[in-house]
């Protein structure tokens, strides 16, 4: 990790105490390349929408942009993983209904790309609270991933109370039925990479469909993949069902990503 900056200044332990003690806030993670980001507008929209819902406050896009640029300047880098966390040192858990000003925390880490190694995942019955918000309540995500690893799998995949596949621990999932990409319908965090893929697949002419996908009824699906801000990677199996990674599908997905332009900060 390079370092963290809060409201444009280098963060210290006292600055982060409110976030650590209350664990109330939200964030977005992006990969910066040459001081540009794919889906930058999607990250800004995510931050602004969640700030209104959690804090009854507005968030200026220019403030976020300036915070990221200031962090890159201070670190002396143009490529990085950037996490933007919105919280409030004025937040009072005794009166969480009050509108409070927000703080913007930018944390930089070395740039990262998803590895192409296929992953075999295990399903768990779990639904994140407020699944549409990328909030800082990540404990269960990592606990289920830990359990999956202890059970000999590579990661955790969640299903809802009706048995429908929703999302992975920190990624979205898509399927291939041999003719089109199938996006599972269930309550989940709709990731920026998922949205970029959907737009990019439309650009390159790949058919898509949204429908409920039950974990126990995957027989008609030929391949699956995972996606988040670091990229896209194939899945080799779900529970006891083996899946064969499809090189043509993966190339189509990569082409869809490349079809989406980088937006300068």
Q: What pLDDT, in 10s, does the model give residues 153-173?
A: 999 999 999 999 999 999 999
Q: Which of residues 47, 76, 109 is at a domain's end?
A: 109
Can you tell me the mean pLDDT for 70-81? 95
Query: Which among 109, 127, 147 is the end of a domain?
Result: 109
Q: Is the residue at 140 inside a domain? A: yes
- Asked whether residue 149 falls in the same domain as residue 260, the answer is yes
* Position 224 pLDDT exceeds 90: yes
Q: Does residue 114 lie within any of the structural domains?
A: no
Same domain, 141 and 45: no
Distance from chain centroid for Cα 103:
21
Residues 162 and 130 in one domain: yes
Q: How far apart are CA 46 and CA 28, in angstroms?
A: 7
**Cβ(236)–Cβ(118) under 8 Å?**
yes
Whether residue 130 is found in the same domain as residue 84 = no
Q: Can you tell me the mean pLDDT for 212-240?
A: 96
Residue 180: inside a domain, yes or no? yes
Asked, for residue 10, whether it belongs to a domain, the answer is yes
* 88 shares its domain with 123: no
CATH code, 220? 3.20.10.10
Looking at the fold, whether 54 and 148 belong to one and the same domain comes out as: no
Domain of 76, CATH number, reads 3.30.470.10
Residues 129-152 have a mean pLDDT of 97
DSSP state of 33: B
Band (pLDDT 50/70/90 cuts) for residue 241 is: very high
Residue with tokens 């993966």: 250
Does the residue 71 lie in any domain? yes
pLDDT (average), residues 258-264: 95
> Which residue in 196, 192, 199, 201 sits closest to 170, CA to CA?
192
In a domain, 172, yes or no: yes
Q: CA-to-CA distance for 250 and 181, rounded, in angstroms?
A: 11
Residue 30: per-residue pLDDT: 98
Buried b (16+ CB within 10 A) or exposed e, 230-265: bbbbbbbbbeeeebebbeebbebbeebbeebeeeeb
123 and 104 part of one domain: no
Determine the 3-state secondary structure of 5 from DSSP: strand
Q: What is the pLDDT of residue 1?
A: 56
Q: Are residues 48 and 178 in the same domain?
A: no
Residue whose pair of structure tokens reads 């915070």 in the numeric block: 67
Residue 21 pLDDT greater than 90, yes or no = no
Co-location of 148 and 89 in the same domain: no
Q: Are residues 75 and 150 in the same domain?
A: no
Which residue among 109, 134, 154 closes a domain? 109
The enclosing H or E element of 123 equals: strand 119-125
pTM: 0.94
Q: CB atoms < 10 A from the CB of 171, how many? A: 25
pLDDT attached to residue 112: 96
Residues 155 and 194 in one domain: yes
Domain ranges, residue 181: 119-264
Q: Looking at residue 17, what is its pLDDT?
A: 81
Establish how many alpha carbons lie within 13 A of residue 196's alpha carbon, considering only the half-sphere containing its beta carbon: 29
pLDDT in tens, 53-68: 999 999 999 999 999 9
Same domain flag for 133 and 36: no
Helices and strands (DSSP H and E) totals, the chain: 6, 16
Domain total in the chain: 2
Asked, for residue 14, whether it belongs to a domain, the answer is yes
- The confidence band for 8, taking pLDDT boundaries of 50, 70 and 90, is confident
């Amino acid at each position: 990790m390079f370092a963290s900056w809060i409201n444009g200044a280098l963060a210290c332990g006292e600055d982060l105490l409110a976030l650590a003690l209350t664990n109330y806030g939200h964030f977005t993670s992006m990969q910066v390349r040459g001081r540009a980001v794919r889906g930058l507008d999607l990250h800004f929209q995510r931050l602004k929408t969640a700030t209104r819902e959690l804090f009854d406050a507005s968030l200026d896009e220019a403030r976020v942009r300036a915070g990221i640029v200031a962090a890159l300047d201070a670190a002396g880098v143009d490529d990085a993983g950037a996490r933007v966390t919105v919280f409030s040192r004025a937040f009072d858990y005794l009166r969480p209904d009050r509108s409070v000003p927000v703080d913007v925390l930018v944390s930089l880490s070395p740039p990262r790309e998803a590895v192409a190694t296929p992953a075999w995942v295990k399903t768990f019955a779990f639904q994140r609270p407020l699944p549409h918000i990328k909030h800082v309540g990540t404990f269960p995500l990592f606990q289920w991933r830990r359990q999956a690893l202890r059970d000999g799998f590579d990661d955790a995949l969640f299903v809802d109370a009706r048995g429908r596949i929703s999302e992975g621990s920190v990624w979205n999932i898509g399927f291939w039925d041999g003719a089109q990409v199938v996006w599972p319908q269930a309550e989940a965090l709709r990731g920026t990479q998922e949205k970029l893929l959907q737009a990019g697949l439309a650009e390159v002419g790949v058919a898509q469909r949204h429908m409920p996908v039950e974990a126990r009824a995957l027989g008609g699906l030929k391949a699956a993949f995972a996606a988040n801000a670091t990229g896209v990677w194939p899945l080799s199996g779900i529970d006891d069902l083996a899946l064969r990674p499809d090189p043509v599908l993966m190339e189509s997905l990569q082409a869809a990503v490349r079809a989406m332009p980088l937006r300068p900060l």
